[in-house]
Amino acid sequence: MSPDFYQIWVYLSTTPLLGLTVTLVAYQGGTWIYRKANLNPILNPVLIAIIALVALLFFTGTDYQTYFEGAKFVHFMLGPATVALAVPLYNQFRQVRRSFPSILIALLAGSATAALSAIGIAWALGASRQTLISLAPKSVTTPIAMGISEATGGLPSLTAVLVILTGIIGAVFATWTLNVLGIRDWRARGLAIGVAAHGIGTARALQVNEVAGAFASLAMGLNALATAVLLPILLGLIF
């Protein structure tokens, strides 16, 4: 990096809006690439934005706290954005009501499988107890997962990273996996994505099909509630 550019960056990094600006630019760039690739899930815009931001912070020597001071507004908007997912859910309310018994069974099975499979695989690979606890709520939306992790003795920062990775992997591979399994019903596809890949997967489902997006929104919310209530009990029994 040239000295002149570095000096300019040091000056700009102290301005509150820099973090917000580079976040929006990175995401818009990722979205542009995503659309040019005909919505190829491998080129997920969130994944592209994360890689771009990590590279920028690394090569400019900017610490995360400095970046986050300007990006707080994006973090704040996670709440309203999650609430806005109720709109497609409302539009598909009749289908949701008819399918509710199946939804409830699938939700409990999916929520338990997501937590137990993660704990089991990590335990078999020799992970520590704290890592296992941090990994357990990986399929829940970030704020709730971090709260569960902190309350049960995990590391909230590690949980946040695992949640984001889970969402990206789910968004990238969900379509391919469901096609291989022969699952064609948009309700089932959306429910599976919402339970397994929370908000990032739900955003992908909304781009593909409105019914899938509605069921993914419902699954994401209910899975967060079920995990917040049941996972501490489950972890208490295991540990």
pLDDT tens by residue, 104-137 = 888 888 888 888 888 889 899 988 888 988 888 8
Q: What pLDDT score was predicted for residue 32?
A: 92
Do 110 and 223 fall into the same domain?
yes
Nearest CA-CA partner of 137 in 225, 226, 231, 221: 231
pLDDT digits (tens, 9 = 90+) for 57-98: 888 777 777 777 777 777 677 667 767 766 776 777 777 778
On whether both 139 and 46 belong to a single domain, the answer is no
Same domain? 120 vs 91: yes
| pLDDT of 144 above 80 | yes
Cβ proximity of 26 and 54 under 8 Å: no
Please give the helix or strand (H or E) that residue 75 lies within, else none.
helix 64-76
Domain boundary among 52, 76, 100: 76
Query: How many structural domains comprise the chain?
Result: 2
Is residue 116 domain-shared with residue 52, that is, in the same domain?
no
Extract the tokens encoding 149: 């992790």
Q: Are residues 110 and 140 in the same domain?
A: yes
Instruction: Based on the fold, state whether residues 92 and 26 are members of the same structural domain.
Output: no
Alpha carbon distances (Å) from 202 to 21, 98, 141, 159:
25, 21, 11, 19
- Verify that 185 and 108 share a domain, yes or no: yes
The answer to whether residues 114 and 15 belong to one domain is no
Domain endpoint, select from 44, 76, 108: 76
Domain span at residue 72 reads 3-76
Q: Is the dihedral of CA 185, 173, 96, 91 positive or negative?
A: negative
**Confidence (pTM):** 0.74
Residue 184 and residue 104 in one domain: yes
Model pLDDT for residues 93-112, shown as the tens digit of each residue: 777 778 788 888 888 888 88
**Are 156 and 63 within one domain?**
no
Indicate if 52 and 125 belong to the same structural domain.
no
Per-residue pLDDT for 25 more than 80? yes
Three-class SS state of 194: helix
Domain boundary among the residues 45, 76, 107 is at 76
Domain shared by 96 and 127, yes or no:
yes
For residues 229 and 11, give the distance between their C-alpha atoms in angstroms, rounded to a whole number: 46
Calculate the alpha carbon distances from 149 to 59, 139, 145, 197 in Å: 31, 12, 6, 17
* pLDDT beyond 60 at 13: no
Closest C-alpha to 141, from 90, 81, 209, 211 = 81
